[in-house]
């Protein structure tokens, strides 16, 4: 048996007497039921996911590092559950995330032995002062921090060339359904990990498409909250106007449970979280998980967003989905127009890029200056670091050595941040850092930037807001993340749900977006659609090109652990 599969088998067999529990595709409801009836422990669950990571990560590069204290946190949760049981409780009062392992995008800070680097070698070894606001809420719920997930380095905001799910620390993220298909980003690792059963719960971030796109292309569910609904404190930033933190899970229900846990006011992100707190409903969001949630909903279909090639599987499936929505009581209004849609979707023309580059410099410099320790303290120093580490060194020997050390780190349960990184560089020749250079040349929010922000506000008011109000829409539906920018530029919410698979088996999704605070109706729509369509299936890890189509198990049986 190959070493990776052997290690996964050993970890699974040492799961602590929980062999009757079905780990694959386990939902939060199933996990909590397992905790309550004794068929599962947090320790067993963490061991299972560590096994999944050790066997799958060399193929899909979803995880940058694992938490050396994850098993200790799991044991603590198990002990708390035993004490509650001894005192007459059944553990239900502990909350839906108690004892549940969570993977965090590498831009979300944790005050522990994990790094927070946005995938960059420049921040390796930096020390944050405190947990990110959303992490503090997860810990308060008893969640176990499993590790840090890969991402587009600097959230794909470094150069003009799309990094496509790559980071210097995590390598190239791979789509777990068809390894050669794009995984999208920048929350690449969270989406891959959720889809591939490397965690039940993951957190990502979005500025423009970074939750909705990877969820769509990896057959996962993502909730992109209204900006300010979740705190951004302790999250490596791009823009305070557009940044938001949200869950990526395998089901709408799981994502909603996580959303309930992470929303709320944070004094370290006071202005945004105070303004958005009015949108949080009494009783939370779980109450909107209704199988009849499509009934009476008005859903818009906008010209220019549903441009799918005629005769393809995607086009036929999307048409079926619109009919399914109608069948379940929705009013689907097609052929709508958003004014200046082409302008909105061109970041240079709309003013989005002009605003973002100025906001990025201010926000990143503030983040770096607040760190207890950091090798770089400003965007200028970060640019200099990249110039000093420009090229990738990726010989077969160095990759093999890195993988072997990576496997050993799991065997001895050490933190992955202890691994050597000198063989990896910043691939400056391939991806560049043009956005960094443009951002460094800005001087704050001046007249040009204010005009750009005003233009973005006007485009939203005369575009998506006008259409939704005129047609009394509850949501706009769109393929994958094609409407992401429409909702991003004014901090509007969206939910992505699996929609189907193309001729090669690569996933595609459907997203529902609305106005600020529309999360309740979006959840009703997304959940009812998910229950009506039942699209999602586990990944097959196909290696597809014009010569071959293979399953991962055949790949494992035909190559050495140093491949991939």
CATH number of the domain bearing residue 64: 3.90.1300.10
- Rounded-to-integer distance, Cα 211 and Cα 188, Å: 8
3-state DSSP percent of the chain in helix, strand and coil, to 5: 45, 15, 45
CB atoms within 10 A of CB 471: 15
Q: Which residue segment(s) compose the domain that 156 sits in?
A: 28-84+94-288
Q: Is 466 a catalytic residue?
A: no
Query: Is there a domain that residue 215 lies in?
Result: yes
The Cα diameter of the chain in Å comes to 65
Q: Is 210 a catalytic residue?
A: yes
Residue in 401, 404, 405 with CA at minimum distance from that of residue 418? 405
- Rounded-to-integer distance, Cα 380 and Cα 365, Å: 9
> How many folded domains does the chain comprise?
1
Choosing from 54, 55, 105, 409, the catalytic residue is 105
- Rounded-to-integer distance, Cα 289 and Cα 279, Å: 17
Pair 502, 508: CB distance under 8 Å: yes
Distances (CA, A) of 312 to 234, 500, 504: 43, 12, 12
- Rounded-to-integer distance, Cα 248 and Cα 222, Å: 4
Residue in 320, 308, 326 with CA at minimum distance from that of residue 525? 326
Query: Is there a domain that residue 543 lies in?
Result: no
Q: Which two tokens stand for residue 204?
A: 């990502």
Q: Which helix (H) or strand (E) holds 147?
A: strand 144-149
pLDDT of residue 307: 83
Note if the bond before 186 is cis, omega within 30 degrees.
yes
- Rounded-to-integer distance, Cα 432 and Cα 158, Å: 7
- Rounded-to-integer distance, Cα 313 and Cα 96, Å: 37
Choosing from 186, 187, 439, 511, the catalytic residue is 186
Query: Is there a domain that residue 277 lies in?
Result: yes
Query: Is there a domain that residue 183 lies in?
Result: yes
pLDDT of residue 90: 63
3-state secondary structure of 330: coil
Looking at the DSSP bridge assignments, the partners of residue 171 are: 167
CA angle 543, 549, 553 (to 5 degrees): 65
3-state secondary structure of 5: helix
pLDDT of residue 443: 98
Choosing from 120, 126, 210, 415, the catalytic residue is 210
Query: Is there a domain that residue 35 lies in?
Result: yes
Strands 475-479 and 298-302: parallel
Q: Is 105 a catalytic residue?
A: yes
Query: Is there a domain that residue 443 lies in?
Result: no
- Rounded-to-integer distance, Cα 59 and Cα 541, Å: 9
- Rounded-to-integer distance, Cα 470 and Cα 466, Å: 6
Query: Is there a domain that residue 134 lies in?
Result: yes
- Rounded-to-integer distance, Cα 290 and Cα 392, Å: 50
Pair 422, 401: CB distance under 8 Å: no
Residue in 195, 157, 144, 188 with CA at minimum distance from that of residue 25? 195
CA angle 382, 383, 389 (to 5 degrees): 90
- Rounded-to-integer distance, Cα 532 and Cα 528, Å: 6
Q: What is the dihedral of CA 286, 287, 288, 292, to 10 degrees?
A: 120
Query: Is there a domain that residue 242 lies in?
Result: yes
Distances (CA, A) of 164 to 174, 301, 461, 472: 10, 28, 31, 37
Handedness of CA 81, 87, 90, 94 (dihedral sign): negative
pLDDT of residue 309: 86
| Each residue's pLDDT expressed in tens, for the chain with a length of 564 residues | 333 334 444 444 444 445 589 999 999 999 999 999 999 999 999 999 999 999 999 999 999 999 999 999 999 999 999 999 888 776 567 889 999 999 999 999 999 999 999 999 999 999 999 999 999 999 999 999 999 999 999 999 999 999 999 999 999 999 999 999 999 999 999 999 999 999 999 999 999 999 999 999 999 999 999 999 999 999 999 999 999 999 999 999 999 999 999 999 999 999 999 999 999 999 999 999 999 999 999 999 999 998 888 888 899 999 999 999 999 999 999 999 999 999 999 999 999 999 999 999 999 999 999 999 999 999 999 999 999 988 744 334 344 444 444 444 444 333 443 333 334 589 998 999 999 999 999 999 999 999 999 999 999 999 999 999 999 999 999 999 999 999 999 999 999 999 999 999 999 999 999 999 999 999 999 999 999 999 999 999 998 543 334 444 333 333 232 333
Residue in 407, 52, 39, 48 with CA at minimum distance from that of residue 195? 52
Residue 393 backbone dihedrals phi, psi, to 5 degrees: -110, 110
Q: In which residue are the tokens 């705190």 written? A: 231
């Amino acid at each position: 048996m190959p070493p990776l599969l052997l290690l996964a088998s050993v970890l699974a067999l040492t799961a602590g007497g929980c062999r009757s529990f079905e780990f694959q595709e386990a939902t939060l409801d199933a996990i909590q039921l397992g905790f309550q009836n004794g068929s599962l422990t947090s320790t067993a669950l963490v061991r299972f996911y560590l096994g999944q990571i050790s066997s799958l990560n060399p193929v899909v590069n979803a995880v940058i590092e694992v938490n050396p204290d994850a098993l200790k946190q799991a044991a603590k949760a198990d002990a708390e559950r035993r004490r509650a049981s001894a005192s007459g409780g059944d553990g239900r009062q502990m909350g839906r995330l108690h004892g549940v392992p969570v993977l965090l995008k590498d831009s979300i800070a944790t005050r522990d032995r994990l790094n927070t680097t946005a995938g960059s070698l420049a921040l390796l070894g930096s020390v944050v002062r405190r947990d990110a606001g959303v992490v503090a809420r997860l810990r308060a719920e008893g969640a176990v921090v499993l590790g840090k997930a890969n991402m587009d380095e600097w959230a794909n905001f470094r150069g003009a060339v799309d990094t496509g799910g790559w980071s210097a620390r995590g390598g190239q993220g791979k789509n777990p359904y068809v390894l050669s298909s794009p995984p999208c980003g920048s929350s690449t690792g969270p989406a891959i990990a959720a889809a591939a059963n490397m965690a039940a719960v993951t957190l990502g971030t979005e500025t423009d498409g970074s939750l909705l796109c990877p969820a769509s292309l990896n057959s996962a569910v993502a909730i992109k909250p209204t900006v300010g609904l979740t705190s951004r404190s302790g999250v490596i930033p791009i823009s305070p106007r557009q940044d938001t933190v949200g869950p990526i899970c395998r089901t709408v229900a799981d994502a909603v449970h996580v959303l309930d846990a992470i929303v709320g006011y944070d004094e370290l992100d006071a202005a945004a979280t105070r303004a958005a707190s009015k949108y949080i409903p009494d009783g939370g969001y779980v109450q909107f998980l209704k199988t009849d949630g499509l009934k009476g909903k008005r859903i818009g279909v906008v010209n220019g967003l549903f441009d799918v090639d005629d005769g393809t599987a995607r086009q036929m499936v999307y048409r079926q989905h619109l009919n399914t929505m109608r069948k379940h009581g929705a009013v689907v209004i097609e052929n709508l127009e958003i004014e200046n849609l082409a302008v909105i979707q061109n970041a240079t023309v709309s003013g989005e890029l002009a605003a973002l580059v100025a906001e990025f410099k201010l926000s990143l410099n503030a983040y770096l200056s607040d760190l207890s320790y950091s090798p770089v303290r400003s965007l200028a120093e970060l640019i200099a670091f990249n110039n000093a580490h420009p090229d990738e060194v990726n010989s077969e020997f160095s990759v093999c050595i890195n993988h072997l050390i990576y496997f050993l780190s799991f065997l001895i349960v050490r933190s992955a941040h202890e691994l050597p990184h000198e063989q990896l560089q910043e691939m400056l020749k391939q991806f560049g850092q043009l956005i960094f250079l443009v951002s460094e040349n800005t001087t704050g929010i001046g007249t040009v930037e204010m005009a750009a922000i005003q233009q973005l506000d006007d485009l939203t008011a005369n575009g998506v807001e006008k259409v939704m109000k005129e047609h009394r829409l509850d949501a706009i539906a769109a393929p994958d993340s094609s409407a992401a920018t429409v909702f991003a530029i004014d901090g509007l919410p969206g939910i992505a749900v699996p929609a189907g698979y193309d001729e090669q088996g690569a996933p595609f999704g459907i997203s529902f977006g609305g106005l600020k605070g529309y999360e309740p109706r979006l959840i009703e729509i997304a959940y009812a659609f998910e229950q009506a369509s039942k699209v999602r299936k586990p990944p097959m890890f196909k290696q597809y090109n014009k010569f071959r189509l293979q399953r991962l198990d055949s790949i494992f049986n035909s190559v050495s652990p140093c491949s991939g």
